[in-house]
Amino acid sequence: MHITLVAGARPNFIKISPIINAIKKKQSEDVDIQYSLVHTGQHYDRLMSGLFFEELGIPEPDVNLGAGSGTQAEQTASIMVAFEKYLVAHPTDLVIAVGDVTSTMACAIVTKKLGIKLAHVEAGIRSFDMSMPEEINRMVTDSITDYFFITSDYAKQNLKDAGVPDERIFFVGNVMIDSLLSNQDKLKRPAVFDSLQLNEKKYIVLTLHRPNNVDDAGNLVDILQTIDSNVNGTAVLFPIHPRTEQKLKGLNLQFKNIKTIQPLGYLEFIYCVKHSLAVITDSGGITEETTILHVPCMTLRDNTERPETCSIGTNELIGTNPQNIVPALKRLFSGEWKTGGIPELWDGHTSERIIDILLKNQ
Ligand code: UDP
């Protein structure tokens, strides 16, 4: 069996790494399984891409499609044109697409139109917020997927509601958590931890990159100033996403507590999250990581496609109104945040289950 794996953006790299390891494990047991890795080039700078390949030991991609940045349509189109050429020249039995980025959707469409089987890892999750490009990516991908690998019962219900037959839905757990658990003993304390004199459980980690929060510079500044003024002197480590950095360029903002740094590599970032007092974020993947690490998490969104991080884990939806951050921080500082539990099958063996199922059902 030959599998083509596609990845294009930071969260994708974290998701494909354990899948590749599971394939290699099968190869070492003499199972007939090969793979190729396609990097679409959606994220291309070292801090958002190359560093993840190095830290997670992901092999060099067989090809980089060089999609680069652009509007949603420009990126989708250039990935589709290049991926179609690649797939025609490099036949495969199955394509695995992970997550919900533009590359996921673009490659899914090309795969299906060439009559090749498609597996979607992290299928079925829905925010029902059509202002999120990711929601559209999820819906389009899931409308043409053959194998749906899901992280939760919630995803199963969404797929059943969309008419997907039971036998194509596979509840396998969460590949992000495979990465997190298998890298626990490789985590790295970043240099900024010491240069900023951070102390364990005495600082907050902040990430922001959703268009709703960052595209309007006034709103972004409001969020940052509200956090800065309500953390009681607690340091806030802010590894800044390139999209967010772009918005703040030239504003020359000064903060008392927020320490803006470049995006961190995976091993450094998880180290910082693990030892933090709490995380404030609008990321999806990070709410899963804080759940596993039992770190309080405030999500600056009105909805989530990962409700189990709230109902079982440590996550809480704070909303997009910056004023909501104030009472949430008060609750955090009074020690009232939930410690949470671990969702079913988030156990570090999801990728092995995926490969076993694909081999059995080929
Ligand atoms: N991440 C990282 N360095 C950072 C910020 C995030 O390694 O400075 C990792 C984080 O651990 C998570 C992933 O990137 O695994 C989440 O990416 P992002 O927030 O860009 O995407 P989303 O989860 O919102 O799709």
CATH number for 118? 3.40.50.2000
What residues in the chain have per-residue pLDDT under 50?
A: none
Do 315 and 355 fall into the same domain?
A: no
Residue range 184-214, pLDDT digits in tens: 999 999 999 999 999 999 999 999 999 999 9
Do 126 and 31 fall into the same domain?
A: yes
Report the domain count for the chain. Answer: 2
Residue 61: give the domain boundaries: 2-174+346-361
Catalytic residues: 209
Do 109 and 12 fall into the same domain?
A: yes
Do 312 and 228 fall into the same domain?
A: yes
Q: Are strands 278-281 and 315-317 parallel, antiparallel or unpaired?
A: unpaired
pLDDT at 129: 95
Closest ligand 1 atom to Cα of 270: 11
pLDDT at 240: 97
> 339 in a domain, yes or no?
no
Do 271 and 142 fall into the same domain?
A: no
> 309 in a domain, yes or no?
yes
Closest ligand 1 atom to Cα of 210: 24
* Minimal-distance CA residue to ligand 1 atom 23: 285
Do 66 and 126 fall into the same domain?
A: yes
Residue 213 Cβ inside 6 Å of ligand 1? The answer reads no
Residue 285 Cβ inside 6 Å of ligand 1? The answer reads yes
* Minimal-distance CA residue to ligand 1 atom 9: 266
Choose the residue to mutate in 207, 244, 303 for probing ligand 1, maximizing ligand atoms within 8 Å of C-beta.
207
Do 278 and 352 fall into the same domain?
A: no
Residue range 110-127, pLDDT digits in tens: 999 999 999 999 999 999
pLDDT at 68: 87
173 Cα to the center of ligand 1, angstroms: 19
> 180 in a domain, yes or no?
no
pLDDT at 69: 86
Tokens representing 35? 């793979």
